[in-house]
Each structure stands twice: as C-alpha cells, then as structure tokens.
C-alpha cells in the first residue's frame, strides 16, 4: 500500500515535471511548428497519444479547418491526407459541435461511429489505426476558436489522468494558439498592405486599358489565385452597364453563353448588379442558394456551367459614386484584399475613363482646329496662292463659291497661270479634302493608253494587260479627279469620259461589271475650248458638261502688281531650299521683271527666281537674264494703263521693303535710290505710301 502510494507519488511528480516543462516551453512558442513540437515531445511525456491535430474556426464561425497537423503522423501515408487537411468542415458535423459545447474534454470511442459517413479527417485517422480520440475545445477570449484533438490506437489511453492533464494545459495551449493566430493575422495584414501598396504603385502608372488589364490579372493571379471575370462600367445615362474589361480565356468553353450575356444590355437595376452596387463591401454570391431562390437564372446557369460554387463581386466606386461592377470567378477569396484591390482598380478606371474623354475631346478639337485652319487657308486666304489684285480676288471669290459643292469646275488660262494650284486649293477646301486628289495629265498619255489610265482594265483585256489595273476614276471615288490639259484628250476617250460623267459609273476595259463612282471633276486647259469645238477637235456635249463653272485665271502680264509679291514668295521658298540669304532684287531688276510680258506666266517667273537665287553671290540680285522675246511676244515696257506715279510708287515701296523701311544713312533706301533722304520723305508722303505697304 505504501509502495503504491510511493509509485503514485512518483508518477504524479513525473507528470508534474512534464507539465512544468511543457508550460516553460509553451511560453517560448512563436509559430505553429514550435507549438507542434512542444505538443509532440512535451505532451507525449505525459499522455501516450499516437497523433495530434489542432483545428481553428473560420472568422464567421461556419467551418473549422486544420490548424496544426503532425507531419509524422501515420495518416500522412494515406491518399486522403491532403484533402482531409485542406477541407473546411461544417461546425454542425456531430463531432465538432459536441466537443465545442462541452467545458470538459470529450472522449470519443471511434469504433462507435459510422465511419462510412464520418468526415474525411475522421476516416483518415481511423484508417491509420486510431480508435479513440479526445477533443478539447480550447477556451478563448470570446469563442473557442481552437481545438485540440488527440488520437490513440489503444482504447483506454485517455483516462481521467489524461483528461486532467489536458484540462491543466488547456488555457496555456489556447493562449499560445491564439497568439500564433493573431501573429499570423498581423503578418497577413502586413503582407496584404504591402501587396496593396505595390499594386497601388503599379496601378498609378497605368494610363491605358491594356496596362490596367495586365496589372489586374497579375495581381489577381499572384495573390488571390483568381481571375477577373468582368468589369462593367455605368454609361453616361446612369443606367446601362457596358462590358469594359474581361478575361476571355475564362470563358473558352462557354463562349455561346458568354456572348449572349455580354451582348445584351445590362442595367443597374438587375438583380445581381443592384445588389453589388448597393453593398459597401464585396459580396459573395452562393450560386446554389441563389438558384434555390430562383434569381437571374441565366447568370446562375452560366456560372454553373463554369463549375463554380461562389462568385465574388464588388462595386467600382470612387467616393460615393458608383462607376460600375466587378465580378470574379472563384470559390474562395480573401474579402479584405479584394476590397482593397477594388478600391484601387476603381480609381484607375475612373482615371483612364477621364483620360479617354479628354483625349477624345482633344482629338475633336484638333480635327475642328485643322478644319478651321484648312478653311482659313483655302477659302479665305489660300496662303500658297499669291496675288491680291482684283483679278485674283475674283478667282478666290469663285473658288469659295464652288469649293463646297460637287460641281464640275473648268479652269481656263494660259500655261503656268496656276490652274493646278487652284484645282488643289478647291479640292482642299471641299468636303472631299480627306482623300487624295487624283490627277491625270491628258496630254502626257498616248491615245491608246488614256482609256486604260482613266477607267482601268481587267487582266488580259488587251496585249500587255498582264495585271488588272484600277483606273484613276475608281481611285478618285469619293474624291476629286483633276483632268489636266483636257483639251488634248483624243476624241475617242472624250466619248467614254462623257459617258462616265453622265452615268456616274464605268466599266474597266475588258470588264463585265459596272462600277459606281462618286467623283468630282476639275478640268483644266490652256486651249480655247470653244475654238476646239468649232474645229471639231473637242466634243461639244463634253464641253457643255465641263463648262458648268468656269474659272479663268488671268495671265501674269495682266496683274503686274502681283509680280513683286510673287518674286518675294519664290525668293523665300528657294532661300529655304538652297540655304541662301537673298533679300531681294535691285530696283532695276524689278523694273525689268515688271516690263517683261511673261509668256510662261507664274511658272516662268518661278523658274527665273530659282535660277537667280542659285546663281546669286550677293544678298541683292542685281542682274537677271530674261529670255529674248520673239517680236510677237514683245510688250510695251510699261502697260499704258499705269501712270508714271503708279510706277514710281511701286518702285519706292519695293526699295523700302528691301531696306526694311530704313530711309536715310548708310544702307538706306535714299542712298540706294541716289536721292536725298528729304526728297524720299516727301515722295513717300505725296505718293501716300504707308508703312503697311512695305512691312
Ligand atoms: N498665284 C500663285 N501663287 C503662287 N504660286 C503660283 C501661283 N500661280 C502659279 N504658281 C506656281 O507656278 C507654277 C505653275 O503653276 P501650275 O502648274 O498650277 O500652272 P498651270 O496653269 O496648271 O500650268 P499648265 O497649264 O502648264 O499645266 C507652280 O509651281 C505653282 O505653284
């Protein structure tokens, strides 16, 4: 008897020592691994269990999950191990709830259970040999979050003494487990925060939709192991939800349903969208539950085909304003993180959309601005066209009358008077300006080719037609066709041209189908077409068709006031292209230019200026080489219509212009003219020359 008491005492002492050691070691526990080690080595000294597990209740107290599992447990060798430790179990499974309700540890004789229908973890341990288990729901601050489960292969292992030991270490174990969990949660929050910080940095750099897509899919896949199903944005009407971004790869197998759902008009008041938009937090849609309630059957059917149990959704929101919705396909997401992500995505999308609007607005302004500039340039100013005298004013007036319409224009005038220049200006001022004006030089082509040039031909239409060719008429569809030197067009081609102008359709040579075209014609000639008609070289019907809106360009000799400005214009142009710095022409040269009759008109003047600029060694060109004129080209030196004082006035203005208005002193206009400065002053006054004339 005494012996027994001694043995008992010794046993008690051993257990006390074991508990003391356990409790000392428990204080130092930092993580799950430490805790497992303490239980496995320390607790085993006091209780002879074969395996241990700890579980934890989820945040919403719906399921319990593995918290600690013993990597050396025999159950590891069984196929169901991974499933057993990764499955959340419902709290009302008949084992957990029994243990959780009890203050004391609960002993289960595993042989009494219907193993077939027991939870996976139970089956697993049973298969590994366990026959008895002891569960202690550990006391927690507000709820018993953690539980300790000990297994033994032998029944009777968990006697009163074992129960007593568990009771004694329960609160310490609970504290250790709670600390670990709290620590882990802090760490998780920290890593969530740092992730969100990284994400926010990534997303701050996002300017376009594709960038955003990349940033989102990266974040979702790495952190939440999910992908974005669909982001929809609320349109300006405040009702329509338009698809904005989605991951098409998710829907490969269900494209038919996806197309149907994405293409129909969704609105903010539809069941799921309304729920998402009304909720401050991301929501979890339990598909089975919603199906039972009969909500939005088409979405439910779609999600079910994707094999999902849950869908997560959140509102895109900046401040109080809803911008749209986001849906994620996943069975299990970290809601906190999702919320953080959605907040950032919302800001990014709102910025991108604002940016897009600004860009669109900017583009619109640019287009308008271009159009305005174009209008100013062509209709009111025609800045490439020099000439301010009444003859050219009349030309501009006619141009601005006709430009906007699709009317045929006939440009008449001697060679080099600027007919092509005017044709281009009319096209640029017309609504067809966005397309290229197509030009055909009717004089440059042999009669045999002109038809093919104008109307095109099919492959093999005639010898040499190795490829199909699109004619200029077709090319000019929706644009302008400039028929230069129309007077030179062979009669045969004139017939065909007339047909196209009448029918507004053509056939390629060798072709069988007719092609409709919408072409605006501007024709030009330096011939007198009426005379050509009389001589039978030009068809009268074609002439009447072309002569709808004739514009006659005056020869240069009839607008001598334009000679000086044109000279300056070309000097500037060739200075730019040749890098020279010619400032102008000497008064004598100007005089010669004005006296010359310019049979080649502006083109001739242009070539002359080009030559002179290239040959000049001085800033002022003092000599030019005008061609010797045939007697019939000769003209009086000054046109009789001009008075002496008019000639004098033009001349003084030109000199003042060259000397930038400097009258007296070295390099002054008076010295150049070889008259006293006072005389020049009084002439300026008398001839009513103002600064505006030479600046
Ligand atoms: N008013 C003008 N202002 C500036 N440059 C002009 C002017 N008129 C003609 N030019 C220039 O003169 C040259 C000849 O003009 P363009 O080719 O338009 O004449 P055209 O009447 O079509 O000649 P052609 O009958 O020989 O085909 C071009 O380089 C053109 O830019």
Q: What is the pLDDT of residue 372?
A: 58
**Are both 327 and 242 inside the same structural domain?**
yes
Ligand 1 and 417: CB distance under 6 A: yes
**Are both 591 and 678 inside the same structural domain?**
yes
CA of 520 to the centre of ligand 1 (A): 21
Nearest CA to ligand 1 atom 7: 418
Nearest CA to ligand 1 atom 10: 418
Task: Tell me: pLDDT of 515 over 80.
Answer: yes
CA of 372 to the centre of ligand 1 (A): 25
Number of domains in the chain: 4
Q: What is the pLDDT of residue 640?
A: 46
The residue to which tokens 């080719």 are assigned: 449
Ligand 1 pocket test, pick from 392, 395, 417 with the greatest ligand atom count within 8 Å of Cβ, gives 417
CA of 485 to the centre of ligand 1 (A): 13
**Are both 67 and 175 inside the same structural domain?**
yes
Ligand 1 pocket test, pick from 399, 415, 421, 608 with the greatest ligand atom count within 8 Å of Cβ, gives 421
CA of 422 to the centre of ligand 1 (A): 8
Ligand 1 and 603: CB distance under 6 A: yes
Query: Which of 477, 455, 475, 456 has the alpha carbon at shortest distance from 406?
Result: 477
Ligand 1 and 416: CB distance under 6 A: yes
**Are both 307 and 400 inside the same structural domain?**
no
Ligand 1 and 573: CB distance under 6 A: no
Q: What is the pLDDT of residue 524?
A: 97
Task: Tell me: pLDDT of 279 over 90.
Answer: yes
354-382 confidence digits (pLDDT tens): 877 787 777 667 765 665 555 554 444 45
What is the three-class DSSP state of 406? coil
Q: Give the list of residues 6+ apart from residue 392 with CB closer than 8 angstroms, or none.
A: 385, 554, 559, 562
333-347 confidence digits (pLDDT tens): 778 888 888 888 898
pLDDT tier for residue 481 given thresholds of 50, 70 and 90: very high
More confident residue, 446 or 117: 117
Q: Give the list of residues 6+ apart from residue 603 with CB closer than 8 angstroms, or none.
A: 415, 416
CA of 128 to the centre of ligand 1 (A): 102
Q: Give the list of residues 6+ apart from residue 140 with CB closer than 8 angstroms, or none.
A: 146, 174, 178
CA of 416 to the centre of ligand 1 (A): 5
Q: Give the list of residues 6+ apart from residue 613 with CB closer than 8 angstroms, or none.
A: 570, 571, 574, 575, 578, 580, 582, 621
Decide if 571 contacts 618 (C-beta within 8 A).
no
Adjacency order of strands within the sheet including 266-267: 266-267, 240-246, 227-234, 321-329, 310-318, 283-286
Query: Which of 485, 487, 481 has the alpha carbon at shortest distance from 500?
Result: 481
Query: Which of 384, 416, 676, 692 has the alpha carbon at shortest distance from 557?
Result: 416
For every residue of 214-232, which 3-state class applies, written as one string? Answer: HHHHHHHHHHHCCEEEEEE
For the segment 513-533, the average pLDDT, to the nearest whole number, is 92
- For residue 641, give both structure tokens: 């219509």
**Are both 439 and 560 inside the same structural domain?**
no
User: Of 159, 186, 213, which residue is a domain's last?
Assistant: 186
Q: Phi/psi class of residue 439: alpha, beta or left (left: φ > 0; alpha: ψ in -120 to 50)?
A: beta
Mean of the per-residue pLDDT values of the chain: 85
What is the three-class DSSP state of 467? coil
6-58 confidence digits (pLDDT tens): 888 888 888 888 888 888 888 888 899 999 999 988 888 889 899 999 999 88
Query: Which of 533, 517, 526 has the alpha carbon at shortest distance from 555?
Result: 526
CB atoms within 10 A of CB 222: 10
**Are both 654 and 578 inside the same structural domain?**
yes
What ipTM goes with this model?
0.97
CA of 484 to the centre of ligand 1 (A): 12
Percent of the chain with pLDDT over 70: 91
User: Could you say which DSSP state residue 1 is in?
Assistant: -
For the segment 432-453, the average pLDDT, to the nearest whole number, is 83
**Are both 542 and 565 inside the same structural domain?**
no
281-334 confidence digits (pLDDT tens): 999 898 999 999 988 888 899 988 888 888 889 999 988 899 999 998 876 677
Nearest CA to ligand 1 atom 24: 415
Task: Tell me: pLDDT of 468 over 70.
Answer: no
In the chain, what is the straight-line distance between the N-terminal and C-terminal CA atoms, in Å?
134
Nearest CA to ligand 1 atom 25: 415
pLDDT tier for residue 151 given thresholds of 50, 70 and 90: very high
**CATH number of the CATH domain containing 125:** 3.30.450.40
**Are both 541 and 445 inside the same structural domain?**
yes
546-580 confidence digits (pLDDT tens): 999 999 999 999 999 899 999 999 999 888 888 88
**Are both 540 and 562 inside the same structural domain?**
no
CA of 316 to the centre of ligand 1 (A): 62
Ligand 1 and 413: CB distance under 6 A: yes
Q: What is the pLDDT of residue 367?
A: 60
Q: Is residue 373 part of a domain?
A: no
**Are both 293 and 154 inside the same structural domain?**
no
Ligand 1 and 480: CB distance under 6 A: no
CA-based angle 348:352:358, to the nearest 5?
145
**Are both 610 and 511 inside the same structural domain?**
no
**Half-sphere exposure (CA, 13 Å, Cβ side) for 564?**
24
Adjacency order of strands within the sheet including 146-152: 89-90, 63-69, 51-57, 146-152, 132-137, 106-109
Ligand 1 and 484: CB distance under 6 A: yes
User: Could you say which DSSP state residue 242 is in?
Assistant: E
Ligand 1 and 399: CB distance under 6 A: no
Q: Is residue 679 part of a domain?
A: yes
Query: Which of 641, 163, 672 has the alpha carbon at shortest distance from 390?
Result: 641
Query: Which of 631, 632, 649, 672 has the alpha carbon at shortest distance from 594?
Result: 649
Candidate from 338-342, 453-457, 561-565, 629-633 with smallest mean pLDDT: 629-633
User: Of 484, 517, 552, which residue is a domain's last?
Assistant: 552
Q: Is residue 454 part of a domain?
A: yes
Q: What is the pLDDT of residue 363?
A: 66
- For residue 71, give both structure tokens: 């990597």
Task: Tell me: pLDDT of 388 over 80.
Answer: yes
For the segment 639-663, the average pLDDT, to the nearest whole number, is 76
List C-alpha distances in Å: 31 to 149, 178, 179, 183. 18, 10, 9, 8
User: Of 521, 552, 583, which residue is a domain's last?
Assistant: 552
Q: What is the pLDDT of residue 632?
A: 57
The residue to which tokens 């994620």 are assigned: 328
Which range, 251-255, 294-298, 605-609, is most confident? 605-609
Decide if 284 contacts 310 (C-beta within 8 A).
yes
Task: Tell me: pLDDT of 493 over 90.
Answer: no
Q: How far apart are CA 683 and CA 467, in angstroms?
A: 71
Nearest CA to ligand 1 atom 26: 415
47-66 confidence digits (pLDDT tens): 989 999 999 988 778 889 99
Nearest CA to ligand 1 atom 28: 603
CA-based angle 111:115:116, to the nearest 5?
155
pLDDT tier for residue 467 given thresholds of 50, 70 and 90: low
For the segment 613-637, the average pLDDT, to the nearest whole number, is 74
Which range, 429-433, 630-634, 673-677, is most confident? 429-433
Q: Which atom of ligand 1 approaches the CA of 484 most closely?
A: 27
Residues present in the chain in total:
695
The residue to which tokens 């079910």 are assigned: 304
CA of 610 to the centre of ligand 1 (A): 14
Query: Which of 200, 197, 218, 192 has the alpha carbon at shortest distance from 351?
Result: 200
Task: Tell me: pLDDT of 132 over 70.
Answer: yes
**CATH number of the CATH domain containing 535:** 3.40.50.300
Q: Is residue 583 part of a domain?
A: yes
Ligand 1 and 387: CB distance under 6 A: yes
What is the biggest distance separating any 2 CA atoms in the chain, rounded to whole angstroms? Answer: 160
Residues 398-403: contacts with CB under 8 Å, at least 24 apart: 398/549, 398/551, 399/425, 399/426, 399/429, 399/551, 400/429, 402/426, 402/549, 402/551, 403/378, 403/379, 403/429, 403/430
CA of 396 to the centre of ligand 1 (A): 15
Beta strands in 494-552 (DSSP E): 505-507, 514-516, 520-525, 550-552
Ligand 1 and 418: CB distance under 6 A: yes
Ligand 1 and 70: CB distance under 6 A: no
Decide if 517 contacts 476 (C-beta within 8 A).
yes
Backbone phi, psi, residue 383, to 5°: -60, -20
533-546 confidence digits (pLDDT tens): 999 999 999 999 99
**Are both 142 and 254 inside the same structural domain?**
no
Backbone phi, psi, residue 218, to 5°: -60, -50
Ligand 1 pocket test, pick from 378, 418, 552 with the greatest ligand atom count within 8 Å of Cβ, gives 418
Q: What is the pLDDT of residue 389?
A: 84
Ligand 1 pocket test, pick from 488, 527, 603, 608 with the greatest ligand atom count within 8 Å of Cβ, gives 603
Structural domain range at position 653:
556-694
């Amino acid at each position: 008897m005494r012996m027994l008491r001694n043995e008992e005492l010794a046993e008690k002492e051993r257990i006390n020592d074991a508990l003391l050691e356990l409790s000392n070691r428990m204080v130092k526990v930092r993580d799950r691994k430490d805790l497992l080690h303490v239980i496995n080595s320390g607790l085993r000294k006091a209780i002879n269990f074969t395996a241990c597990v700890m579980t934890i209740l989820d945040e919403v107290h719906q399921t319990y999950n593995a918290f600690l599992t013993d990597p050396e447990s025999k159950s590891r060798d069984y196929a169901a191990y991974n499933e057993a430790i990764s499955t959340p179990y419902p709290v009302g499974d008949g084992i957990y709830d029994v243990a959780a309700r009890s203050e004391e540890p609960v002993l289960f004789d595993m042989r009494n259970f219907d193993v077939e229908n027991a939870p996976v973890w139970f089956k697993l341990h049973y298969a590994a040999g366990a026959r008895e288990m002891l569960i202690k729901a550990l006391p927690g601050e507000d709820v018993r979050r953690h539980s300790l489960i000990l297994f033994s292969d032998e029944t009777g292992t968990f006697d009163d003494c074992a129960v007593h030991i568990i009771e004694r270490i329960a609160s310490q174990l609970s504290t250790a487990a709670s600390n670990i969990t709290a620590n882990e949660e802090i760490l998780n929050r920290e890593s969530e925060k740092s992730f969100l910080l990284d994400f926010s940095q990534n997303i701050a750099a996002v300017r376009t939709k594709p960038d955003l897509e990349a940033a989102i899919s990266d974040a979702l896949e790495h952190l939440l192991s999910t992908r974005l199903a669909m982001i929809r944005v609320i349109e300006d009407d405040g009702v329509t939800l338009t698809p904005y971004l989605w991951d098409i790869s998710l829907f490969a197998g269900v494209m038919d349903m996806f197309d149907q759902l994405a293409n129909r008009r969704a609105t903010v008041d539809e069941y799921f969208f309304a729920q998402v938009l009304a909720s401050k937090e991301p929501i979890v849609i339990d598909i089975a539950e919603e199906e039972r309630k009969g909500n939005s059957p088409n979405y439910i059917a779609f999600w079910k085909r994707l094999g999902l149990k849950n869908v997560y959704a959140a509102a895109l929101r900046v401040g109080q304003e809803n911008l749209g919705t986001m849906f994620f396909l996943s069975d299990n997401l970290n809601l906190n993180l999702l919320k953080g992500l959605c907040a950032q995505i919302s800001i990014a999308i709102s910025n991108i959309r604002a940016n897009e609007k600004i860009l669109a607005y900017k583009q619109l302004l640019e287009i308008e601005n271009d159009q305005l500039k174009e209008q100013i340039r062509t209709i009111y100013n025609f800045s490439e066209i020099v000439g301010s005298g009444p003859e050219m004013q009349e030309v501009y007036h006619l141009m601005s009358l006709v430009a906007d319409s699709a009317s045929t224009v006939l440009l008449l005038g001697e060679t080099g008077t600027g007919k092509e220049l005017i044709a281009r200006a009319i096209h640029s001022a017309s609504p067809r300006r966005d397309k290229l004006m197509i030009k055909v030089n009717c004089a440059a082509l042999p009669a045999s080719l002109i038809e093919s040039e104008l109307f095109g031909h099919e492959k093999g239409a005639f010898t040499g037609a190795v490829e199909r060719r699109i004619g200029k008429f077709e090319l000019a569809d929706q644009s302008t066709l400039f028929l230069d030197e129309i007077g030179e067009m062979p009669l045969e081609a004139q017939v065909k041209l007339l047909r196209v102008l009448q029918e507004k359709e053509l056939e390629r040579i060798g072709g069988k189908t007719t092609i409709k075209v919408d072409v605006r014609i501007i024709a030009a000639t330096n011939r007198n077409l009426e005379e050509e008609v009389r001589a039978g070289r030009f068809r009268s019907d074609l002439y009447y068709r072309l002569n709808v809106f004739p514009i006659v360009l005056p020869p240069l000799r009839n607008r001598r006031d334009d000679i000086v400005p044109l000279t300056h214009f070309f000097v500037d142009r060739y200075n730019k292209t040749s890098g020279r710095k010619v400032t102008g022409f000497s008064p004598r040269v100007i005089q010669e230019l004005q006296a010359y009759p310019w049979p080649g008109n502006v083109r001739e003047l242009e070539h002359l200026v080009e030559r002179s600029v290239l040959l000049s060694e001085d800033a002022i060109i003092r000599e030019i080489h005008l061609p010797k004129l045939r007697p019939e080209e000769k003209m009086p030196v000054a046109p009789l219509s001009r008075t002496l004082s008019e000639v004098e006035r033009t001349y003084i203005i030109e000199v003042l212009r060259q000397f930038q208005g400097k009258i007296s002193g070295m390099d002054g206009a008076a010295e150049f003219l070889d008259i006293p400065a006072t005389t020049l002053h009084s002439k300026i006054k008398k001839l009513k020359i103002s600064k505006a004339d030479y600046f």
